[in-house]
Amino acid sequence: MSVRIRPDLDRLPGYVPGRTVPGAIKLASNEVSLGPLPSVVEAITRAGTEVNRYPDTAASALVERLSERLEVAPGRLAVGCGSVTLCQQLVQATCTEANEVIFAWRSFEAYPIIAQVSNARQVRVPLTAEYTLDLPAMAAAVTPATRLVFVCTPNNPTGPAVRRAELERFLDSVPSDVVVVLDEAYREFVTDPEVPDGLELARERDNVVVLRTFSKAYGLAGLRVGYAVATPVVAEALRKVYIPFSVNSVAQAAAVASLDAADELLARCQGIVAERERVRSELLSLGYEVPETQANFVWLALGERTEAFNEHCLDNKVVVRAFAGDGARVTVSTPEENDVFLAAARSFLS
């Protein structure tokens, strides 16, 4: 007799990570291409000498540093093993099988997986024709069973961010007992002044939770650290469903060292932003459909040409993230790597 696995897992696609192909440039996971700063490597090395001990499960030093930097009380913070784990903790903390999680589609690939694994019902609301979140439709989808709404801003994989007026209208129309998660994994790349800082909204409204990560702008994707800013009630619930010790001690030390070097790391993002505008305008001039983006990636709406584009990029030693039949998401990297990608995008058309 074979072991019995939950039958619904047969229908679960599983998360597909961006591929690493030897010898090819990886533009598939929205990482920064530059390695950690020497000061961060030093902190990692130092923390490495103490890994015989369990980490501080409360991540006190990191929470204290975040509290100072963000000007929020430590009791309003929760850390997680990457912000993706916090997405799961949020669903676990708010939903039973009778409840619904609303998110846009297409959006972050992990939302439907997390909803299913956590036994919550999922409601997907299509994006607008401009690849933005359709917030009025998302608000209209709320029912008495809704407990959580993911608002991914900027939206992965399409790029646009939600602007202040429409977000405030949305928040006004959602019942205050529904948690609205502003998933701001790419916040540090936002340049549009109309895009609000989620932290301001989280300070004003008890049902708003902001998720941020050290994986993108801070360059620590391999170490897995994210955090949530929420009301004390929600933050405490997040800590309750936290798997003990899941943010390891090396990751905590690296995150603290990265906050110490925040100015330098965030300055690096400005170079990526400049490249983002160059890459997008070049793609537009080649005739690709590329929505406005506030993140460190661009979305090419390729429809049925997506697979062929993906293969062509691979032949040209560039790994992009393809979503069959829909489009390709391409991380903005250094000027040199972006040039290799742009050459591939150009030759695809010829």
| Residues in contact with ligand PMP by the rule CB under 6 A | 30, 82-84, 108, 152, 156, 183, 185, 213, 215, 221, 226
From CA 73, how far away is CA 32, in angstroms rounded? 30
If the CB atoms of residues 215 and 258 are measured against ligand PMP, the closer one turns out to be 215
Which residue type sits at 65?
A: R
Which C-beta is closer to ligand PMP: that of 213 or that of 348?
213
* Nearer Cβ to ligand PMP (55/157): 157
Q: Specify the amino acid at residue 25.
A: I
| C-beta of 158 vs 348, nearer to ligand PMP | 158
> Nearer Cβ to ligand PMP, position 89 or 215?
215
User: Which lies closer to ligand PMP via its Cβ, residue 109 or residue 275?
Assistant: 109
Kindly report each contact of residues 84-87 with a partner whose C-beta sits within 8 Å and lies 24 or more positions away, as own/partner.
Answer: 84/110, 84/114, 84/226, 85/224, 85/226, 85/243, 85/246, 86/211, 86/226, 86/227, 86/228, 86/238, 87/111, 87/114, 87/150, 87/181, 87/183, 87/211
> CB 28 → ligand PMP: shortest distance, Å?
10
Least distance in angstroms from the C-beta of 336 to ligand PMP: 24
**Residue 10 Cβ vs ligand PMP, minimum distance, rounded to whole Å:** 25
Residue type at 97 in one-letter notation? E
Cis peptide before 106 (omega within 30 of 0): yes
Q: How far is the CB of 150 from ligand PMP (least distance, A)?
A: 9
CB of 140 to ligand PMP, least distance (A): 23
- Which CB sits closer to ligand PMP, 90 or 185? 185
Minimum distance of ligand PMP from residue 57's CB (angstroms): 18
- Give least dist CB 4 to ligand PMP, A: 30
Residue nearest ligand PMP, Cβ-based: 82
